Amino acid sequence: MPPTSLLLQGGRWFWARKWVIAGVLVLGIAAGLGVLRWLVGPEVAVYPVLRSDLVKTVVASGHVETPFRVEIASQITATVAEVLVEEGQSVTAGQPLVALDQRELQAAVVQALATSAQADARLRQMRELTLPAAEESLKQAKATLLNAEAAFQRAQELATSGYGTRAVLDAATKDIDIAKTQVRTAELQVFTSTAGGADFVMAETQLEQAQASLNEAKARRGYATITSPRDGVLITRSVERGTVVAPGQALLVLAPTGAVQLVLAIDEKNIGLLSLGQAALASADAYADQRFPAILSYINPSVDISRASIEVKLTTTKPPAYLRQDMTVSVDIEVARRDGVMVVPARTVHDSLTAAPWVLVVRNGRAQAQTVHIGLRAADSIEILSGVAPGERLVPIAAGIRAGQRLRPVAS
């Protein structure tokens, strides 16, 4: 048979069996790849042992709260004339918040002013009139006494010499006694009208009482304007114009400016990890990318049995401006830290909760089982104390690789 015919027949034969031949070729290639895969191993994403800082945190959520809230109330019973602020408004110390009707209070001040002026006039009268008059009366009484003494002396001499009568002497004696009484009376009048005397002290006391009443009336008039005791934000307003308020009735609630607290509920299983003074990073859920520092300042001594949690409070002395009362926050409390240690992903450590944890290390193209000693656990990272060296590559548990199996490591 000519060669051309043979070629034609062979071509027809291959063409008729093209799918069979293609299948055989595919199977051959697959078998070859399988053998190659068996010889060099599968590709596996591995993780290197790194040296880095490892921080263990307790994560919880809570809300913002000021260390205390100030309830602002009226000190007198009165009708509200005007409310000068709105809920949510920032206020400063001394800023007027509520104005009360002060017509009666003003009338009381005017009356107290009149009483004070009257008492002051009484005291001035004591100094300018009563005392000088008493002093003049004393001078006159003393002069009368001198005259009475001289008359008594003459009457006594005459009676002794026999020229005077007993009646004249008795009259002179009576006159001198009256003059002495008048002097004593004038002296008492002068004494009571001078500083320390009864009348003067009484006038001073009346003036002091009047001034005290005036100060009280002015103070009560001052209560008609309720002011902010300190800087802060008004978080509650429960008063309107025309309301009749009474002493002690809370009208506004103020959240003071300054340090704020973050109140959290921590799962009781983490109690042993917490201690006062631990640092934390917090963020409001509404501003998750803006974190700020805080310090653990309070741990409740009792556990909430219904929630199996414990309340803790963190303090931040420089809260960001966007924080609001009762705003939801998320907090990471740093409970342990290791600097410059060997760290591996938790997904590469087998039996990590047992006494004999181990890893698969890539050595000479094979996965080799290696016992390790582990230290701090933090989230998805584990500290390795010994067993592997920095830079060695570990096979993750999920890869399904057995010890001794060949593999082709690929950086994850």
Q: Among 133-142, 145-154, 159-168, 225-234, which is the least confidently predicted range?
A: 159-168
Do 344 and 387 lie in a common domain? yes
Q: Enumerate the H helices of 126-165 as residue ranges.
A: 131-161
151, with CB counted inside 10 A (0-12, 13-18, 19+), is middle
Q: Is 228 helix (H, G, I), strand (E, B) or coil?
A: coil
Look at residue 26 and tell me if it is in a domain.
no
Contact by Cβ (8 Å): 312, 328: no
- CA–CA distance, 384 with 302 (Å, rounded to integer): 36
- CA–CA distance, 194 with 135 (Å, rounded to integer): 10
Domains in the chain, number: 3
Do 157 and 192 lie in a common domain? yes
pLDDT in tens, 290-305: 999 999 999 999 988 8
Look at residue 110 and tell me if it is in a domain.
yes
Do 177 and 273 lie in a common domain? no
pLDDT score at 23: 65
pLDDT in tens, 207-231: 889 899 999 999 989 999 999 998 8
Percent of the chain topping pLDDT 90: 38
Do 167 and 267 lie in a common domain? no
Do 117 and 59 lie in a common domain? no
- CA–CA distance, 105 with 219 (Å, rounded to integer): 9
Contact by Cβ (8 Å): 75, 95: no
- Of 271, 265, 331, whose CA–CA distance to 304 is shortest? 265
pLDDT in tens, 369-400: 999 999 998 878 999 999 999 999 999 999 88
Do 212 and 278 lie in a common domain? no
Do 145 and 291 lie in a common domain? no
Find the angle CA(312)-CA(284)-CA(278) to the nearest 5 degrees: 35
Look at residue 344 and tell me if it is in a domain.
yes
- Specify the residue for token string 């592997």: 388
pLDDT in tens, 29-82: 655 555 445 455 788 999 999 999 999 989 999 999 887 788 999 999 999 999
274, with CB counted inside 10 A (0-12, 13-18, 19+), is middle
Do 240 and 198 lie in a common domain? no
Indicate whether 83 pLDDT > 60: yes
Do 321 and 392 lie in a common domain? yes
pLDDT score at 35: 47
pLDDT in tens, 252-296: 998 887 778 899 999 989 888 899 999 999 999 888 889 999 999
Q: Among 15-24, 129-138, 140-149, which is the least confidently predicted range?
A: 15-24
- CA–CA distance, 123 with 117 (Å, rounded to integer): 10
Q: What is the CATH number of the domain that holds 57?
A: 2.40.30.170
Give the model's confidence band at 17: pLDDT under 50 very low, under 70 low, under 90 confident, else very high.
low
Rounded average pLDDT over 108-122: 90
Of the two residues 34 and 308, the one the predictor is more confident about is: 308
Q: What is the CATH number of the domain that holds 77?
A: 2.40.50.100
What is the span of the domain harbouring residue 91? 70-101+224-255
Indicate whether 120 pLDDT > 90: no
Look at residue 343 and tell me if it is in a domain.
yes
- CA–CA distance, 148 with 173 (Å, rounded to integer): 8
Look at residue 9 and tell me if it is in a domain.
no
Looking at residue 67, the DSSP 8-state letter turns out to be S
| Chain center to CA of 270 | 26
Task: Name the residue type at position 5.
Answer: S
